[in-house]
Structure 1
Amino acid sequence: MIVGDLLRLEDLPLGLAWGTADLLERPVTGVTSTDLQDPARYLQPGELVLSGLVWWKPESGAALRFATSLSSARVAALLAGEGTHGQVPPSLVEACRIHRIPLISIPAGTSFRTVTDRIYLRLWGGLDSGAAPAGALPESARQELAAMVETGAPQNLVLARAVARLGLPHCAVLSVAGRVIAASDPASDATAPATAAGPGVPVGAPGASPFDGWYLHTAGPTAQARSLAELLAPAALGARSRDSELRSSAAGLFDLLAASGTADRGDFSHALDRCALPSDTPLTTVAARIDRAPTAWAVDALGELLRLAGARFTAGTDERGEAAAVLAGPAGELRPLLPRLQALLGPGHVLRIGVGPVADPAVPALRDSLVGARYALASADPYADAAGLDSLAALLAGIPAQVTAAYRDRLLGQLLANDRGGSVSLVDTLAVFLDHDGSWARTAEALHVHVNTVHYRVRRIEELTGRSLARLADRTDLRAALLCPAREDGPFRSK
């Protein structure tokens, strides 16, 4: 589907307020509604954005700020309702022209629900330029299956009916990570063989990240598989639209956690309810990032990870613009699932997950859990659980690199400078001495030197650092410095 298809809907009187022919060719990946003035962190590239314009005020610069936000999110177009102000404000038209965002007007009296339903329940499959060859499905079967999809029938039933009507073998709709979304026979072991028949046929438009997309797997005729996948496309778009709404609700929950003080219990319960989370069950937070990749990728990866784990959750961006999720109950063991998601990323992109401790369903406790998740995420390990921190190395890994590097330089700077000008490494001697619990003899044996040499080097280390290796506190400080990463060379030691 492209933006221009909206203007060809006979049953929706939409108008073009501004747009050029090339911009109307933009592909559409989803639909979301918002009345925030800066909704960028709730949006995905390629989405249609519906707004009632309740945020707009004359002479406030609001229109330009709103358009700037949409442009930064790389949306496909803006659909603006005329009900609030009687028309699309000229300042918004000009702002969309500046940022080259197609602007389509929705007349007063036309509900946004009608518009979204028309887009993802009727239009999506029929206007796809990659439509299946004519005759791929018998017309009676196509109409029956399309009606089931449009009325919201469970996809398992749609696939089962397709198998019965068309004589297809078992088929299943899977996510890009292999999660079963629907199957013609959910109880059958035949779902696994269906996944081995190649990458499958895309259901709907490709997603905006490597983790977003559905595929139909079947050993049936290719033309029929394509036609069936196209009939299921509205369901895929509907799921993507619901995900967008949940991301918005998740962001509201994270904003509540970030607010100073203790939030009203009723507001907190309402925020959880909007996220489809219970208010009487312990909750857990999870943070995520992908090295050298957009935050939107991390949000999609986190959502797919938690779906694979069977969790009840909401995921989105927190108040810092970072990927995070809240789920009901403990997170369980997510680490074994990471390779399935990492396999979808190219070289240089590493998915990292930080899990916070289980918290009571209250703002202070959940806020603390999120702090723990962020701390775990900052560790060097691609998967870290704040509740499992059990070593000095793990504790230091969550401290910002700028802090640990400065600490390392402060305690070891003189030793490093000395080592650069000589043939003996006092830093290595210090590390081996601490590794052997301050034993002179074992340190000498490990370094293949005389024990008197160890005594001399240790005295020199104490002179340069101003610390005594006979004191436990000083040994701990120096051990921590050795575990801190250097500014450029990465971790000096990981033991």
Structure 2
Amino acid sequence: MRLRALLDTDALGLRLLGGQDELDRAVRGVMTTDLRDPSRYLSGGELVLTGLAWRRGAADSEPFVRLLAGAGVAALAAGEAELGPIPDDLVVACARHRLPLFAVNESVAFATITEHVVRQVSGERAGDLAAVVDRHRRMMTSGPAGGGPDVVLDLLGSDLDLRAWVLSPVGRLVAGPRLAEAELPAGVRAALAGEHLAAVRTGRRGPYRATVGPTTYSLFPVRGGGRGTAGARDVRETVLSEWLLAVEADAGDWPAERLDLLEGVTQLIAVERDRRDAARTVRRRLAREVLELVQTGAAPAEIAARLRVAAPVLLPGLGAAPHWQVVVARVEWDAWDDAKGGPASSSAEDGGGRRTDGLEGGPVAQALLEEILVDPLSSGPEPSDRIAVAHTGDEAVALVPLPAVSSGQDGSGHDGSGTGLLADAILAAVRDPLSAGLDGDGRLTLGVSAAVHSAEGLRGALEEARHARRVAAARPGRVCAAGHQELASHVLLLPFVPDDVRRAFTARLLDPLRDYDRRHRAELIPTLEAFLDSDGSWTRCAARLHLHVNTLRYRVGRIEQLTGRDLSRLEDKLDFFLALRMS
């Protein structure tokens, strides 16, 4: 706003004492001070309010005004409540330094002036920022990205003093202020994502109000042009894949202009989301091609060749021969009768016995996996570039590359059963927000395979992940996950367990020992067989193998180290026994 506008507002009680020719100066803020030297707290363009407590004599006015003029303030307003009329020495000093001077009537509080100026300046800045947002959006839709959402979020902070963050549906930080003090804790992000998903399911129009601890946030949905609700038959088709803009403010009493501005910001973020989805098209296609080869029983050499061709896209920076894990996800919905306000009485049933109403869960599960499998400590869309997810019908399948583990002291190079993604860790990160989005009539189930170190193991890993997902589906809860560790030997004895799952279990347990035997001729497999046949008796086994007991103990210790198992436990003995019999 301009200084001239201050004089046009009678409620402010301002009287101009000097600086008639400077009234077109812009006011960018307000500062109230009685410091003798407030220059360190000034950045230029302020209207400085003072009660003159700094003035002890006529000689104090000149240095005070000189400091204000040097800092580039817009004007000085002195109150008459404490000392009466403004002293002439202050008027003279302001005239010498061409600093406009106002007298503030004793009946007017400084807070009244401050509130008026801040409100007017905020409105002006909002208009300027709206123009920036619109220009930025045009840049992003017509050419290379102009900096992404971070640029506009920084503008919201600097020009409107609004802290804002872009979050994924599972609460991952996509973008936010760059200042360290503006970091949003993971627990708060998850709570806001859950509040947003629950609000979207109600059909209310955003922004949504959410309170986490002592802080109130306003949540604005980010609906992309390529994935928005316009083409969706049901909100459930998009609710679990939308980003949100969380603003640390209560937008309930905002004017329409500011709400329109934030809507423009969400549209800009949606452009970035659509751009990122377009960039994922190639990875999704490659994942689908690999998945089709695996499912149709193609030769491992053919699968390996396809992976080598896809390596530059699927494995940027990782090399050509990583370990792999497979994650399978399924999103299922109960049919819903709007007239009855509850589940429909008749509808098709899926393979798991849940009713569905024709909603295709594959695309939703695909988008969810692409968010869930990003490192939770990372931010921005880029870390997800290594996640390749395909979908078929209601199922989504992710191929997750893991960096090849360097050889350990034993030289085996095996990653072991503890490497890679764990179902429990995935579940802990997403359970709360996604349960809110599933809202009593939907389920997400996940299955995680063990890591495999060749294309030959991918088919077994896929079946293992699918079977683990079925184990998760048998549990109560809206969001459930199970990993390969839960496919214990007693489960493998069940008649409906696929042969590929049994083979994957056997390979995971015995391949480290076979590889070690090939490298070192250590005879760990024969030692294991003899140890089990001897019922775990050290003396009988040593005699049978013609070994010293200490040598036998060394070999058994190596077996336990390579497999992560304990041969003193009955469960581990049983697993080894079955693996040897099925191999």
- TM-score normalised to structure 1 length: 0.47
Highest Rg: 1 or 2?
A: 2
